[in-house]
Amino acid sequence: MSAHPTAADMEALVALLDTSLDDMRLSDDEKRSLAIALRHAEPPEEGLRFLRNQAFALAHQRTRDGFDAPSVLRWLEGVMRALDVARTPAVGLRTEVCFSPGQDCLRAIQARLRDARQRADLCVFTLSDDRIAHEVIAAHARGVNLRFVTDNDKEFDAGSDVGRLRTAGVPIRVDRTDAHMHHKFALFDGLWLLNGSYNWTRSACDHNEENLVVTNQPQLVRQFQHQFDRLWDELGE
């Protein structure tokens, strides 16, 4: 997949700018959403210039329509700061690798769940490690937008925590086809990807030879996000 955003990506970003103007202020949540969307699209410098020009055009149109000029100016300043963040990412590109047996993989999963602020998309064949389930439910309780995809093969096994997540209100979609949904990956805030052989089970932590890659490489995050969104839509009722 190309590192450059598509025309649809840019249109979506412009629409996000327009929507954020509805209440004449760029809230903290809208700033975070814009920054995440910009990092996810990874627009080149000319794309940032285009978005900056679009923001000025939107602000000019609102003031011509009689909206409160100081409010529009504050919105515009917030957009400019978000664009500056997109030009110079707040964190550098990082990739780490964890292995089991041992708790390195578990701790990496727990850390990402605890750090999640807006959304987490989890796509795992099975979940029976209650330590991970606890962090998933805690993230959901503090308002993180969670989506959980799994397979029906292990859904009702002894020790499965899928029922706990469902009871807690976590949105869940299950692959009930004859084939297996055998992925083990997770995405956090559109910025981080966890992926590897590591099943989210105690046996994977304590006994199995497993691996887990943790990365914020935008191209990888974007490709896995497309895969998750496809599965979520296909498994929807």
Per-residue pLDDT of the chain in tens (237 residues, 90 and over written 9): 344 556 766 777 788 788 877 776 666 666 666 666 666 555 556 677 788 888 899 888 888 888 888 888 888 887 887 777 665 554 578 899 999 999 999 999 999 999 998 899 999 999 999 999 999 999 999 999 999 999 999 788 878 999 999 999 999 999 999 999 999 999 999 899 999 999 999 999 999 999 999 999 988 998 999 999 999 999 985
The total domain count for the chain is 2
Q: Are residues 72 and 112 in the same domain?
A: no
Please give the pLDDT value at position 91. Answer: 54
Q: What is the pTM of this model?
A: 0.65
Q: Are residues 101 and 180 in the same domain?
A: yes
DSSP secondary structure code for residue 11 in this structure: H
DSSP secondary structure code for residue 140 in this structure: H
83 with 48: CB under 8 angstroms? yes
The verdict on residue 223 lying in a domain is yes
Q: Is 182 among the residues known to form the active site?
A: yes
Q: Which residue has the tokens 């949540």?
A: 29
The verdict on residue 1 lying in a domain is no
**Angstrom distances, CA of residue 4 to CA of 45, 48, 192:** 11, 12, 19
Phi, psi of 65 (to 5 degrees): -80, 0
The verdict on residue 218 lying in a domain is yes
161 with 177: CB under 8 angstroms? no
The verdict on residue 174 lying in a domain is yes
The verdict on residue 81 lying in a domain is yes
- Range(s) of the domain holding residue 54: 7-87
Q: Which entry of 180, 182, 207, 226 is annotated as an active-site residue? A: 182
55 with 80: CB under 8 angstroms? yes
Q: What is the spatial distance between Cα 43 and Cα 170, in angstroms, rounded to a whole number?
A: 32
Q: Are residues 73 and 133 in the same domain?
A: no
